[in-house]
Amino acid sequence: MRKLFPIILTCTILCSCAQPRVVDEVNMSQAIGYDILENDRIEGMFVIPIFQQEQMGKYQILSGTSSTTSDVQAAVSKKADKTVLLGQTRIVLFSEKIVHKIGMTELTDYLYREPQLGNRVLLVIVEGNVKNVINIKPPNSYVNIGIYLSNLINQQNETGNGPDTNLHLFLGDSLEDGGDAYLPIIKKRGKDVAVSGVALFHENKIVNKVQSKDMFVFKTLVQHHRRGVYKFKLNDKKKSDIVVESIRSGTKYDVSGSESHPSIRIKLKIKGQIKESMRSDNLTNRKMIKKIEQDMEADITKQATRLIKDFQKRNIDPLGLKEKFHAKNKRMTYERWKGMYPNMDIRVEAKTDILQTGVSE
């Protein structure tokens, strides 16, 4: 065995076979944006941090055009001093137009196929041009625009009204029959960028949007919440505003499997605390709390029913009711579901529980 030992030692030389990828010797993209140009070519933009001593948050944006999303990377690399690599990409932005022209399945094919990209990459739809959004200077100069945008979306998903999405979750929904999925929309407002709603997909295209004011209800319907904020008007003479912060929420779907009379009952449960009350009344009063709870329940039920009626009218199913129905009803096919869904009896029951009213009366 003595003879073999030197051979094993020389194996370490093989290490140099692999190409090292040192952080400041490559262009490490942290955000990608895709726009479509007039002549149907794709413009890709890469946000690349520049590492220099004592200069945090410096970055450059490289862009290039090509006819496919993966080729853009090569086109950009041609112009740059170092190759562009995607391993650290946090967020991918698509303009509404490119989704409309090309379709989401084709756009995400490359992202999902590429092992360099993680599955937690955020996908975001941009209202207007991606170029305008990606060229905004982030308000704090320590981060680049890519990290800033991904933090913005993450923060909204975790503690705001935005539904949690990423590449994995989006494809999970959109690869199913019908392809009903959702992604957050951002929009440039003056010098800032803000979440403006949720884009709803059906068969590869954006077909509808959930407005920013409906996002709380939408998120309650599709996911658990932690700290969403809900504002509504109390049903009394003054119509005063009440703001409730949800502490946790839960959704239960009761599906009746009967073929002749399919119905789904959605039970929403929200536990929250009062964040603000635009009225001078005493909030520790039990009656008052009861009233707020009841009014909030009525309001959420109304909003949720309105949203669902709208989904049914357009025959889109972002809530994933099809899978829930299929779980109870084995014989269901997508064709049958399409005929059944618009007239299905879907009822929402909301239950709210005010746990606390804050530190003041």
Partner 1 sequence: MNQTDVNEKYMVAPFYVFFLVHSMQTGIGVLSFQRILAKSTGTDGWISILLAGLIVHSLIWVIYKIFSMVPGDILSVNHHAFGKWGGNLFSLLFIAYFLVLGSTVMVSYIQIIHVWMFEEVPAWSFSLVFLILIYYINTGGFRTITGIAFLSVMMTFWLAFVLFYAMKYSEFTNLLPVFDHSLLDIWTGTKHSALSMIGFELILMFYPFIKDAKASQKYAHGGALTTTLITVIVYLVSLVFYSQNQLVLNIWPTLTMTSIVELAFIQRFEYIYVSWWAIVIIPNITISLWAASRGFKRLFNVQQKYPLWGMSLIILIINIFFFDVDSLNILEKIINPYGVLFLVSYLPLLLVIIYIKKKRNRL
Q: Which region among 10-18, 35-43, 155-163, 261-269 touches partner 1 (by CB under 8 A)?
A: 10-18
CB of 326 to partner 1, least distance (A): 7
SS3 180: coil
**Helix, strand, coil share of the chain (percent; to 5):** 35, 30, 30
**Beta strands of 174-240 (E only): which ranges?**
181-189, 192-202, 205-211, 229-233
Is 250 an interacting residue with respect to partner 1 (CB under 8 A)?
no
Is 8 an interacting residue with respect to partner 1 (CB under 8 A)?
yes
Is 19 an interacting residue with respect to partner 1 (CB under 8 A)?
yes
Is 224 an interacting residue with respect to partner 1 (CB under 8 A)?
no
CB nearer partner 1, residue 47 or residue 296: 47
SS3 358: coil
Residue 1 CB contacts under 8 Å (≥ 6 apart), including other chains = none
How far apart are the C-alpha atoms of 2 and 252, rounded to whole Å? 68
Q: Which region among 92-100, 189-197, 293-301, 319-327 touches partner 1 (by CB under 8 A)?
A: 319-327
Question: Residue 124 corresponds to which amino acid?
Answer: V
Nearest to 191 by CA among 137, 237, 258: 137
Query: Which positions from 57 to 96 touch partner 1 by CB under 8 A, shown as an x/- string?
Result: ------------------------------xx--------
Question: Residue 70 corresponds to which amino acid?
Answer: S
CB nearer partner 1, residue 8 or residue 359: 8
Q: Which region among 23-31, 171-179, 192-200, 287-295 touches partner 1 (by CB under 8 A)?
A: 171-179
Is 171 an interacting residue with respect to partner 1 (CB under 8 A)?
yes
DSSP output for 51-106: -BTTBTT-EEEEEEEESSHHHHHHHHHHHSSS-EE-TT--EEEEEHHHHHHH-HHH
Residue 156 sits at φ, ψ, to 5 deg, of -65, -35
CB of 20 to partner 1, least distance (A): 11
Size, binding site for partner 1 by CB under 8 A: 31
Q: Which region among 163-171, 196-204, 225-233, 290-298 touches partner 1 (by CB under 8 A)?
A: 163-171
CB of 260 to partner 1, least distance (A): 19
Where in 175-204 is the site for partner 1 (CB under 8 A)?
Answer: 175-176
Angle at CA 40, nearest 5°, toward 37 and 46?
A: 50
Nearest to 279 by CA among 290, 270, 292: 292
Query: In this chain, which of 324, 338, 347, 351 binds partner 1, going by CB under 8 A?
Result: 324
Tokens of 359: 């530190």
CB of 194 to partner 1, least distance (A): 26
Query: Which positions from 107 to 126 touch partner 1 by CB under 8 A, shown as an x/- string?
Result: -----x--x--xxx------
SS3 41: coil
Q: Which region among 146-154, 288-296, 328-336, 346-354 touches partner 1 (by CB under 8 A)?
A: 328-336
How far apart are the C-alpha atoms of 31 and 227, rounded to whole Å? 27
Query: In this chain, which of 79, 82, 168, 314 binds partner 1, going by CB under 8 A?
Result: 168
Which residues contact partner 1 by CB under 8 A? 1, 4, 7-8, 11, 14, 17-19, 87-88, 112, 115, 118-120, 168-169, 171-173, 175-176, 320, 323-324, 326-330
